[in-house]
Amino acid sequence: MGYTYRSIDDLQKLGERVRDAAVKMTMKQEESYAAAQVEANNDATRSQTGQLTQVPGYEAPASGRPDDDGNLRGYVEQSYAGVPAMFTAFSVPNPDDCIPMANTFYSAAVTIEPSLEVTHQGDKFSAPLLTPGANGATPVGEMFGFMSLHMKNWDGDAAKAFERYLTKLGLAAKLQREFATSMGVTLDAQLEIRRRMLTDVWEIGEKTIKVLESLDGWCTSKQSAQTTLTVAGAIAAVVFVFATEGAGIAVAVEGIQSAATILGAGGQEKTEAEISGATVPPVITSMVNALTKLRKTIDAQEQELVSCIQQLAATLRVNFDRVLVEAPSDFVNAGTASVDTLDKGRQFYDR
């Protein structure tokens, strides 16, 4: 099933459909109707004796019996009034709106190393890919080539210091490339979690409606529908793409452990949820359980991302002096010196 963005209004309407189906079937199915009458009478007694009611805020009707048809409908509607909020609780802005942000990280990585080609096509990854580097920026590797060629016949203390500087800068570029790619990977994983979350919550709602409507028949046996929580594999899917497409290969570069390596260390198992019941209450309860399982699965995935970012930050701190390399003082001072000074000091001279 492809990804379709579901706005807060979409989720509200889905929740309303679930609520309305639950009310309709409660009033229509004999077993559900009888169970609701018992609950309405019990809650009316609790209300009259000052006890907490099962349905928050319920008050015994001013006229008629709590379990007569009119009052019972009001009770049932109040019972399921909170269903739409269970779905809107999962509302988020469209994850695809953040794709340009992820591509900014990849663009930085490509600017450093043009052979790294990473981008989205629609809502998927594919290769070969054509992510451009930063506008007007010369790739670091290309600049190294220019400088090395230009400096190959030069010698002297400053020239040698600059040669060592280029070596350190080359390593720093690789570290920066890996870090930029890793940030893109973690952001992509977060966006994929959100996409799959919206897909899963929509599927839970639709299957709940389907099971509720299936109660409207001669057979009152248990009805059920299975749903797979695709969010459980969100991170694994992103890491798999990066590993197989050759983008952001899961290999540590001189101490900076890549996000793909960290996230690829743990596997995700398929998570199933069942919407089932012979009457309305157990169907709604199973729906709530499925939504709870979805939330816990999302939290577990996001905690994995938090741990990944913490590990990336730790390795970045350890290697910080190699990620940001300062030019040697001999070369900095030579930058403002005259040709005569450089020649006499034997800092830069042509072999």
Boundaries of every domain in the chain: 9-81, 92-350
Per-residue pLDDT of the chain (351 residues; tens, 9 = 90+): 578 999 999 999 999 999 999 999 999 999 999 999 999 999 999 999 999 999 999 999 999 999 999 999 999 999 999 999 999 999 999 999 998 888 888 888 877 765 544 444 444 443 334 355 666 666 676 777 777 777 777 777 777 777 777 788 878 888 888 888 888 889 989 999 999 999 999 999 999 999 999 997 655 678 889 999 999 988 888 877 665 554 444 344 455 567 877 887 555 567 899 999 999 999 999 999 999 999 999 999 999 999 989 988 888 887 777 777 777 666 666 667 777 776 666 555 555
**Residue 256 has what DSSP assignment?**
B
Helix (H, G, I), strand (E, B) or coil at 276: strand
CA 1 to mean position of chain CA atoms: 18
**Residue 254 has what DSSP assignment?**
T
Give pLDDT, residue 48: 93
Give pLDDT, residue 282: 96
Give pLDDT, residue 250: 38
Give pLDDT, residue 120: 44
Rg, the chain, Cα only: 31
Give pLDDT, residue 248: 44
b (16+ CB within 10 A) / e for 198-226: bbbbbbbbbbbbebbeebeeeeeeebebe
Give pLDDT, residue 116: 46
Give pLDDT, residue 129: 40
Stated pTM of the model: 0.81
